[in-house]
Amino acid sequence: MTQRLCLVHYHEIGLKGKNRATFENQLVTNLHRALKPFDVANISRISGYIVVEAADHRATDAMAAAIRQVPGVARVSLAYKCGLDEDEYKAAAVQALSEAGDFSTFKVHARRSSTTYPVHTLEMNQLVGSVLCEAFPQKKVDVHNPDVTVVVHVVQGSTYVYAASAPGVGGLPVGTAGKVVTLLSSGFDSPVATWMVGRRGATCIPVHFSGRPQTSDTSEWLCQDIVDALAPSGVVGRLYVVPFGDRQREISLAVPQSLRILMYRRVMFQVAERIAQLEGAKAIVTGESLGQVASQTLENITAVNEAVTMPVLRPLIGSDKQEIIRRSQQIGTYEISSQTAPDCCTLFMPRRPETHARMRDIHEAWESFDHEAMVADLVEHMEYRDYSQCPSYHAPKGRLRAHHSELAPIEPELSDVERPEGE
């Protein structure tokens, strides 16, 4: 019986060595998560592909679109699976080409992953090509630069036939590169940076520094909308929110005006590092682009980096604003980031921020307030919300004392130390 299914192609995973199965298995797990809204019968690995089968044997365009958003997927083909009977796979080729949309030229590309099938690929090309020429007499064959290629692939005792194919996001499966903590605002840059490291296989834990109570909590809700927009990719496991407004006011009163931003960022980096240590994350990620604003000059980046010992990744460092905006449109965060909201980035801003800070001045300003107590207090009062769309995320053990009833409506799990006897 011929069935229509989704044939998932990958690229980088195929270049892996002995650990290739680990990447494939993680991609299968992530596909199960992404396809929960669909009635999926089975997701399995075959030679060089992952096969997604619908319960009714009729995979849809919507199912293929959901698969394409999962990191690690290079391309998705709506394919027909049939047996090794020539008449069966020839009929499937006719059906596949009829679904390819508008085209003028085509060719057939036959492959055999199993040499036990006696028909040679050249003969398969001729058999299928002749049938397609009869079925589509107005179309021409072009073996060099066709509009559509009909692939007939014999693998593991079955034949997969497809013509309709669309690119995925590529990269590596989320969960294969460890955890990272990302600094997330409601602007354009940091959501794109979060998505980009997630696309490289990292499980992302965003931290949003809110201007609350000095500002409204609008930016917090926008950040939740951003994480929801990133949900199809499954890159985010938990969102932390740190109310930072009062502490910014303290800093603004203690340090020279021109150095406020750098002190804010040093505190933010140290809080992010504490969260990373709690989560077992290995790096901090920011949406900085070299020279885009005053805090993103080389001197100021160095001044902020000094506050932490953990690696700081900046995937957008060489990107301009238009490139970042185009990417935000592709990943679905553009409309959310276009909304204006007061947050810590707009709070107590200096008129003339320092663009080329000297480390002597940085150290003097840093010691002018109790930054250690401030960081500890911010970590103590952070809030969070978990997201089930990231199967590779595992919450840290122990209880986080501060949580928001709306951000985290479910009580956090107690650690063994705090758990009453008998539980």
Cite the annotated binding site for ATP by residue number.
Answer: 183-184, 208-209, 265, 287, 296
**Contact (Cβ atoms closer than 8 angstroms) between residue 82 and residue 6:** no
d(CA 308, CA 274): 10
Instruction: Compute CA distances 127 → 3, 69, 97, 102, 113, whole Å.
Output: 21, 36, 15, 23, 18
Neighbours of 346 (CB within 10 A): 12
Task: Count CB-CB contacts under 10 A for residue 39.
Answer: 9
Q: Alpha-carbon dihedral of residues 272, 335, 407, 399, nearest 10 degrees?
A: -30
| Binding-site positions | 183-184, 208-209, 265, 287, 296
Q: Which 3 state secondary structure label does DSSP give 107? A: strand
Question: Taking the CB of residue 350, how many other CB atoms lie within 10 A of it?
Answer: 15
Quick check: helix, strand or coil at residue 103?
coil
Q: Do residues 345 and 208 lie in contact, with contact meaning Cβ atoms separated by under 8 Å? A: no
- Residue 5's nearest CA partner among 56, 57, 44, 47 is 57
Phi–psi pair at 200, nearest 5 degrees: -90, 10
Greatest extent of the chain over all pairs of C-alpha atoms, in Å: 83
Helix 61-68 with 20-34: angle, nearest 10 deg: 130
Separation of alpha carbons 332 and 337, rounded Å: 10
For residue 283, the SS3 value is coil
**How is residue 139 written in tokens?**
């179309």
